[in-house]
Structure 1
Amino acid sequence: MRSASAAPRWALLSSGCAPVLLVGSWAIAQARQGPEYDPAADTLSVLASYGAASYWLMTGMLLALGTCYVMTAYALRQAATAGRLALAGGGLSALALTLVPAPSSGGALEHGAVATVGVVLLGAWPPLAAARAGAPTPWGLRFDVSLAASGVMFASALWFWAELQSGRAPGVAERVVTFLHALWPFLVVLSCRRSAAA
């Protein structure tokens, strides 16, 4: 742990904005896409593809989401450096997705590769950020809690991969994994602030 002080208020703001931006943007985008869009069967990449009704909305959301992750990683001084770098890398992956959006139909190797890097980094950051054993630690940075969070994120990512293969409900699985990725930094920042206030 680099500091026992609370994460700055802007870390609370940036981490808290991430899940709100994510869910709000996909809700608006799927409404704009119309009835032909099936949120259970269609992925978020469909909403952000070239020619989609909400291409610019989803591109803006990715830019804001990536920035939130990077700002949170910078501010979260209580976390170990490796975890902060992984979280920032996940944010940079979100930013990079705007450069390689999915095509309007079919897949894209570049898009899939960047998205996979982001999923791995955002899934791996919790245990990498955990504090060393023996130090007084906010619950969100305890190794056991962080490992459990990471396990849930990777399990949801595997579920998403399985749904992509089967075609049953990849949209649902993707929303779960991306929401978990967006929510966990906020919970960690909350735990750091509560620990510092205690």
Structure 2
Amino acid sequence: MRAVPRWALLSSGCAPVVLIGGWSIAAALEGPAYDPVAQTISVLGAYGAAGFWVMTGAFLALGVCHLLTAWGLRPAAFAGRVALGAGGVAAFVVAMLPAPSSGGSLPHGSVAVVGFALLALWPVLAADRDGGAAPWGLRPVPAVAATTLMSVGAGWFLIEMHREGAAGVAERLVTCMQSLWPLVVVASCLWHPDDDAPPE
């Protein structure tokens, strides 16, 4: 089992901080006109929004966090690392293709869907098929559970978007899960006994 460098704990731990901090600050700048229950995070990063630069910066920082974590997560299966890194790239593209203030955008929405899918699938793609010898976060059962929960959350988000309901709540739940799972996996790898060289 190859060691995970300790800096991966920082990159994975920063992901939920920059995401939640970004949307919290951007929402505060937007004021009471923004409804976090019904409106999505993309509204905060739309052209003309008061918190446009804050939310854009948060998306970019999130992308960096996912890319660094994917690079450092050596015990994970290669396909999972690629999916996590690609999810980071999707965060960059979402930041570069903000939705217009007038409403949705097909390019922005398409990239967001791809990002959601990659970050939902990476846990199961990263899992060690041998099972018991792997760190807890890379075992099949927790990985499948994480992917299932994220997929159910994404389905709930789509339903809420269609019915114009609590889309903001659903999106925040899914993105929180997706930003926290890399930290769980990295922590489980660092706490797992390793016979190879010590982490960098």
Q: Which TM class, normalised by the smaller chain length?
A: over 0.9
CA displacement at 1:107 relative to structure 2: 1.1
Match of 1:139 among 126, 136, 140: 136
CA displacement at 1:196 relative to structure 2: 3.0
Match of 1:169 among 163, 166, 170: 166
Matched, 1:39 2:9: no
Structure 2 length-normalised TM: 0.95
* Structure 2 unaligned spans of 5+: 196-200
2:27 corresponds in structure 1 to: 30
| Alpha-carbon separation, structure 2, partners of 1:193 and 1:157 | 29
| Alpha-carbon separation, structure 1, partners of 2:11 and 2:103 | 34
| Alpha-carbon separation, structure 2, partners of 1:92 and 1:116 | 13
1:186 is matched by which residue type in structure 2? L
> Tell me, what secondary structure is at the counterpart of 1:98?
helix
How large is the Cα RMSD of the aligned pairs? 1.3
State the Cα deviation string for residues 24-46 of structure 1 (Å, max 9, x = none): 11111101101111100111000
1:114 corresponds in structure 2 to: 111
* Structure 1 unaligned spans of 5+: none
Match of 2:90 among 80, 93, 99: 93
Q: Runs (4+) of structure 1 moved beyond 2 Å?
A: none
| Alpha-carbon separation, structure 1, partners of 2:123 and 2:111 | 20
Q: How high is the sequence identity, in percent, across the aligned residues?
A: 54
Match of 1:74 among 71, 74, 88: 71
Mapped contact 1:48–1:59 kept (Cα < 8 A): yes
1:21 corresponds in structure 2 to: 18
CA displacement at 1:197 relative to structure 2: 6.6
CA displacement at 1:88 relative to structure 2: 0.3
Alignment: residue pair count: 195
Matched, 1:181 2:178: yes
- Go from structure 1 to structure 2 and tell me whether the alpha carbon gap of 1:134 and 1:146 turns closer, same or farther (over 3 Å shift): closer
